Copies of this chain bind each other. A is one copy, B any other.
Amino acid sequence: MQSPEKNPAGCNCLALRQAARHVTQIYDQFLAPSGMRATQYSILARLSRRGSMTINALASELVMDRTTLGRNILPLRRDGLIAVARGGVDRRSKELRLTRSGEARVRAAFECWQQAQAQFESSFGAGRAKALRALARDVALSDPGAVAPVDKD
């Protein structure tokens, strides 16, 4: 392992963040006509596929912090794409569901997403894209492992 001053390219975190920034800009540009950003599309598309979910459940599936998702759904609620209902069984929870408007928006955005996906795969290569997704998925689902010192009682 080299020093980052000698080899800044060696940092896994920096490499992933740079790639995420770059790719997000591409997808965001293609999604722009749909009036959504990549993160918003990922939320709506997941709700469309899985049906109503609680905030915690959806955040976990999206590998997103619970509080981040709580903030990210605010503009979607404001725009009437998502509705929130108090959980029937557990009254602490909140069920998120797509509205009619949200369903329509997802369908429209899907066309944009396809273009972004096609553009990326044609320029980066479908094979390498597949390998990248597989590695990225393994990273996202991997155990964080023993992190910084946690003081337990």
Contact = CB atoms under 8 A, between A and B. Distances in A.
A13 B38 contact: yes
Interface string A124-153: 100011011101111110111111100000
B132 A15 contact: yes
Contacts of A139: 19, 22-23, 124, 132
Contacts of A137: 9, 15, 18-19
Interface of A: 1, 3-6, 8-27, 29-30, 32-33, 38-39, 42, 45-46, 48-49, 62-65, 110, 113-114, 116-124, 128-129, 131-133, 135-140, 142-148
Q: Which of A124, A136, A137, A140 has the most CB of B within 10 A?
A: A136
Given A11-B117, A17-B38, 11 more contacts: A4-B49, A5-B45, A13-B42, A14-B38, A15-B137, A16-B132, A18-B136, A22-B139, A22-B140, A122-B145, A123-B142
